[in-house]
Amino acid sequence: MIIAISIVIALALATWQWLHSTIEPAPFGTKTYESQWSTLINTMIHDDLPAWVPTWFRVYAIGVVDTVATVLWKRIIEANTAEQLVRTYATSNNKVNNNSRLCIITGGDSGIGLEVARGLREAGLRVIIASRTAEHAQQAKAHLGDDVECLTVELTSIKSVRQFAAKVKRMVPKGGIDILINNAGIMNTPCHITSDGFDAQFQTNCLSPFYLSLLLLPWMNKKQGRILFAASSTLYAASPDLDLSLARKEYGWDGLTHYAHSKLYISVLSEILGQHLRDSHGNVQVFCYHPGAVRTNLFSHTTLFALPISSHVFDFIMLTPSEGAITPLYLCLAPASKLSAARGTKPRESGGYWSSTVRQPVPGCKNVEKAWKAALDFCGLTIPEAEALIRA
């Protein structure tokens, strides 16, 4: 029912816009009908569906809303491009000298990450890609050019994350990281409990990005550093109770529930980390974002997207990786003034959850402090150790 209503409303809105507007892309960071509408429906799916509706069903419903609201909108109405965004913020009106800025991006060898790395290179930044394998790192170099640097990290291993952070600290002077993009992720993969004892989706999408960010915090540019976490609109599907036991729990066919949980959890950690940094008067900004419904390898374990017939349909209607790169590129390149909380919302300097280059509200969670302490514990950090990294 919700799916049918969503499709009808989106088509009506899109047609109306098409007929009545001058069909020009909205300026980056502008609230569009599409961004307002998809937030409204996501919030309804989160708040108004009865509690017995399972998370995996909510994930599918949100996926359909996303595809209809964001993707058809962009297909029917002329949309912004990543190239325009790079031109807008990297060359003309941005006073920051990009040539001296350094960005590290995990999973920058595939899908959205590869396009973000490309955009940042074109904007003149120095880019270090953190790949899972040396082979994928080489392929990224072949796509982007030899001046892109590559390192390897296995995000399903706490030891590998620690070794990666140590390697970066040897390569880069303290304060030398301008942007850290925690892009790498997996979705709905067959259940795998890692050697550290965590569900691989939780460790890859949430725990390791959080741990890596804490370890690299003392190396971030203290005046204008930015840390980005890839979240997902599926966070609206997860239970607000934030079941901490899911981090170590096995699953059968229901990997989507664990995916949505990992994305809600990282959005909660991102918010608290940003708050701690503000409290310690630091200028490092923390954001999480939803890139849109983007056709990438991420969907290779989700049957509906992998079936031969539906696969072609999704190839056609979903966003391209380059379109999916727009929101993270915006968070990297837009001047700080463009990233403040929108007027009328709770005043906060920056941070939050972004989609379609607009800051969006996120559902509240019940046990955020417990979740923060549990995450530190999972990383093997005490609260004073974490505070020392935040203040360093």
Interacting residue ranges for ligand NAP, rule: CB under 6 A:
106-107, 109-113, 132-133, 136, 153-156, 183-187, 204-205, 230, 232, 290-291, 293-294, 296-298
> Of 179, 274, 271, 280, nearest to 220 (Cα)?
179
- For the chain, give percent helix, strand, coil, nearest 5: 55, 10, 35
| Pick 98 or 296: Cβ nearer ligand NAP | 296
CB of 198 to ligand NAP, least distance (A): 11
CB of 204 to ligand NAP, least distance (A): 5
| Pick 159 or 174: Cβ nearer ligand NAP | 159
- The encoded tokens of residue 74 equal 């962009």
CB of 290 to ligand NAP, least distance (A): 5
CB of 52 to ligand NAP, least distance (A): 26
CB of 325 to ligand NAP, least distance (A): 9
Cα–Cα distance for residue pair 223/188, rounded to 1 Å: 38
| Pick 32 or 156: Cβ nearer ligand NAP | 156
Cα–Cα distance for residue pair 216/102, rounded to 1 Å: 13
CB of 15 to ligand NAP, least distance (A): 25
| Pick 98 or 360: Cβ nearer ligand NAP | 360
Q: Is 367 exposed, middle or buried (0-12, 13-18, 19+ CB in 10 A)?
A: middle
Cα–Cα distance for residue pair 294/320, rounded to 1 Å: 6
| Pick 55 or 110: Cβ nearer ligand NAP | 110
| Pick 98 or 129: Cβ nearer ligand NAP | 129
Strands (E), the chain: 102-106, 126-131, 149-152, 179-182, 226-230, 285-290, 353-355, 358-360
Cα–Cα distance for residue pair 83/305, rounded to 1 Å: 28
